[in-house]
Structures are given as structure tokens and as C-alpha cells.
């Protein structure tokens, strides 16, 4: 009986450790996605700021270009964040 209880406790500890490890991977994956979203928003804001600056100068075409570049960079950062999230989920 004593051996059975010891084995049960050891198995319980191992399963708990694996569950915590899996939870840590999920947390890291969510963190990577959030970082990608944050960087994307920053890039889009930079593009918008540069666009407004060019509009004030009277360069409407260049303003549209700056906004488009910001949106493209933002999309790229979102994709990187999603890719890193998937990588972290695959590790588990």
C-alpha cells in the first residue's frame, strides 16, 4: 500500500509538472501574438503621423504613400507575431 501511494504521488507530480509546462507555452504564445499586435499598431501610427506631416506640407501623394507603407509594415509585424505564436504552440 505504501509503495502504491508513493507511486501515485510521483505520477501526480509529473502530470502537474507537464500541465504547468504546457500552460507556460500557451502564455508565451499569447505574449508573442500581443507583441506582434503592439508593434503593428506602432508602425501604423508612425505611417499615419508621417502622412499627416506630408499633408501639412501639401504633398497628398507622398502622404498616401507614407500611410500605405505604415499599413504594410503593420501587416508584416502582425504576420511575424502570428508566426511566433504558432512556433510557440508547436513546441508543446
Q: Whole domain around residue 71: which residue ranges? A: 2-91
Q: In order along the chain (92 residues), what is the average pLDDT of each group of 10 residues?
A: 62 53 70 89 91 92 93 92 87 70
Write the DSSP string, 43-60: HHHHHHHHHHHHHHHT-H
Closest by CA to 41, choosing from 86, 75, 66, is: 75
Give the list of residues 6+ apart from residue 73 with CB closer than 8 angstroms, or none.
Answer: 40, 43, 44, 46, 47
The predicted pLDDT at position 1 comes to 57
Q: What is the model's pTM?
A: 0.66
The pLDDT score that the predictor gives to residue 56 is: 93
Owner of C-alpha cell 502564455: 27
Q: What is the domain count for the chain?
A: 1
The pLDDT value given to residue 29? 82
Rounded Cα gap, residues 78 and 66, in angstroms:
18
Q: Which pLDDT score is estimated for 52?
A: 93
Amino acid at each position: 500500500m505504501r509503495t502504491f501511494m508513493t507511486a501515485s504521488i510521483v505520477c501526480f507530480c509529473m502530470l502537474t509538472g507537464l500541465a504547468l509546462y504546457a500552460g507556460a507555452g500557451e502564455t508565451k504564445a499569447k505574449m508573442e501574438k500581443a507583441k506582434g499586435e503592439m508593434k503593428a499598431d506602432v508602425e501604423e501610427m508612425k505611417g499615419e503621423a508621417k502622412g499627416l506631416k506630408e499633408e501639412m506640407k501639401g504633398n497628398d501623394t507622398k502622404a498616401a504613400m507614407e500611410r500605405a507603407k505604415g499599413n504594410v509594415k503593420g501587416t508584416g509585424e502582425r504576420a511575424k507575431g502570428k508566426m511566433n505564436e504558432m512556433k510557440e504552440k508547436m513546441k508543446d
